């Protein structure tokens, strides 16, 4: 790492933010003889996410630039990626005085890959796992999954999108992969003020087949959610299978059938039904079941409508999985998202046979585990039999509920001590009386 030369004071302009080259890929390191832009902030914290309200000045800094970050007292805090149009104006990458060079970037990537391959030994169980988990691996604004011989990346920041090809080029030899695909997050335009196109390597296959614990899954890169496969639920899928032998299983919001297929193949469930609203992932779910010679019934339906229909028909299941998509993306969606979680869980609990299991999940980082558990407790109090009151309103009886375990994302999705936002997935295991 090298000592920096800092740029003369100059405030960024609107023209800078909209410059034609803002989507172009950039090298990772900056020549030590170059002048690096300076951003001055009011906070002196070791937190990687610095919000726009903390920025006091931006000197020579344009959207996507690697900048030196100073506190108002002129103390150098470290280096990060800057975007004046994002609410997260600076994503800190280093809290050190030396300007990061190629070796500094490489060290981050070696450490990230070593955690997965050397310590966790994930190659023994699967060829689908997270290689880079954003802030938890010191690369704020980027996640990368290894899916067979493909590195699939999702960028959350403009600066990381601009460096994603260079990062994947360094990760590929460490992972033994040949192809790459880079996409932006669903809210990238509204959050980062840009809408860059996906980037793919020349010979990227349309799909790959991966395996976890011997079960095979196809992953398609065109139109898929996130990086294409939910590696974070890997251990929860295997754990759920332990409860399924000879039992009936319902997988609500099944996507491409991860829980449903594992319940049948690993768990030897007697009967499995998967439900999802979208036809494309359901078609892939059917292919995944066929690939593993697992008999699973998949239904295209709205989750609310399907569960209400089952209740009207008096149908219940021994094991129910509820793993909806992110229902709370912003603070403005918080109240509505909580209501949706409550309604979904109340219905799901009603479909669990007495003594049966419900696994309920939330990937909304803004919903804390404590609040999620309280929501589940409240839902259990309205998940019993429905009776009509004198005023014509429906009344639900409370139902006994025991929480037997709590879990989260698999270990390849570590949590940063300096960024609790990296702990997003909540999985609560309940027995209903």
Superfamily of domain 102-204 in CATH is RNA methyltransferase domain (HRMD) like (3.30.750.80)
pLDDT for 16 equals 42
- pLDDT per 10-residue tile (average), the chain, 433 residues: 48 41 84 88 89 92 95 94 95 94 96 98 98 96 97 96 97 97 91 91 95 97 76 97 98 97 98 96 96 97 96 96 92 92 96 97 93 96 66 68 97 91 92 95
- pLDDT tens digit sequence for 8-22: 433 333 334 445 466
pLDDT for 12 equals 36
- Spatial distance between the Cα atoms of 272 and 295, rounded to a whole number of angstroms: 8
The hierarchical CATH code for the domain 5-94 is 2.30.130.10
pLDDT for 225 equals 62
pLDDT for 387 equals 52
The ranges of the chain annotated as CATH 3.30.750.80 are 102-204
pLDDT for 17 equals 44
The ranges of the chain annotated as CATH 3.40.50.150 are 230-432
pLDDT for 6 equals 56
Domain spanning 230-432, CATH class: alpha beta
- Spatial distance between the Cα atoms of 281 and 222, rounded to a whole number of angstroms: 11
Helices 258-265 + 234-241 axis angle, to 10: 40
Q: Which of 413, 3, 419 is nearest to 235 (CA)?
A: 413
Other residues' Cβ atoms within 10 Å of the Cβ of residue 33: 8
pLDDT for 259 equals 98
Cα 84 from chain centroid (whole Å): 24
- Spatial distance between the Cα atoms of 114 and 429, rounded to a whole number of angstroms: 31
The ranges of the chain annotated as CATH 2.30.130.10 are 5-94
pLDDT for 222 equals 83
- pLDDT tens digit sequence for 150-178: 999 999 999 999 999 999 999 999 999 99
């Amino acid at each position: 790492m090298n000592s920096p030369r800092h740029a003369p004071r100059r405030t960024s302009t609107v023209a800078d933010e909209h410059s034609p080259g803002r989507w172009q890929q950039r090298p990772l390191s900056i020549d030590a003889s170059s002048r690096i832009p300076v951003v001055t902030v009011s906070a002196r914290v070791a937190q990687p996410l610095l919000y726009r309200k903390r920025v006091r000045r931006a000197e020579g800094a344009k959207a996507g630039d690697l900048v030196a970050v100073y506190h108002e007292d002129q103390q150098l805090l470290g280096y990060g990626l800057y975007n004046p149009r994002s609410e997260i104006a600076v994503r800190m990458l280093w809290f050190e005085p030396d300007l990061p060079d190629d070796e500094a970037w490489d060290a981050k990537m070696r450490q990230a890959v070593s955690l997965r391959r050397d310590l966790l030994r994930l190659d023994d169980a699967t060829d689908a796992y997270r290689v880079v988990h954003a802030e938890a691996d010191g690369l704020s604004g980027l996640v990368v999954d290894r899916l067979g011989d493909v590195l699939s990346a999702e960028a959350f920041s403009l600066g990381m999108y601009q460096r994603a090809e260079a990062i994947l080029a360094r990760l590929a030899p460490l992972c033994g992969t040949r192809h790459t695909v880079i996409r932006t997050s669903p809210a990238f335009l509204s959050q980062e003020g840009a809408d860059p196109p996906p980037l793919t390597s020349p010979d990227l296959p349309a799909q790959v087949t991966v395996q976890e614990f011997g079960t095979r899954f196809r992953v398609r890169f065109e139109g898929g959610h996130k990086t294409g496969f939910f590696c974070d639920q890997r251990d929860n899928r295997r754990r759920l299978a332990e409860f399924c032998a000879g039992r009936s299983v319902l997988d609500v919001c099944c996507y491409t059938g991860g829980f449903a297929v594992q319940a049948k193949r690993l768990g030897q469930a007697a009967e499995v039904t998967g439900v999802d609203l979208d036809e494309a992932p359901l078609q892939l779910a059917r292919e995944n079941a066929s690939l593993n010679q697992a008999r699973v019934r998949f239904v295209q339906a709205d989750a609310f409508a399907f569960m209400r229909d089952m209740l009207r028909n008096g149908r219940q299941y021994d094991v129910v999985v509820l793993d909806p998509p992110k229902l709370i993306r912003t603070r403005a969606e918080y109240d509505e998202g909580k209501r949706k979680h409550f309604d979904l869980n109340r219905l799901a609990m009603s479909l669990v046979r007495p003594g049966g299991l419900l696994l309920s999940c939330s990937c909304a980082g803004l919903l804390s585990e404590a609040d999620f558990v309280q929501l589940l407790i409240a839902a259990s109090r309205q998940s019993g039999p429905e009776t009509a009151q004198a005023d014509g309103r429906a009344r639900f009886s409370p139902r006994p509920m025991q929480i037997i375990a709590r879990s989260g994302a698999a270990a390849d999705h570590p949590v940063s001590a300096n960024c609790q936002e990296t702990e997003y997935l909540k999985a609560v295991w309940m027995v209903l009386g």
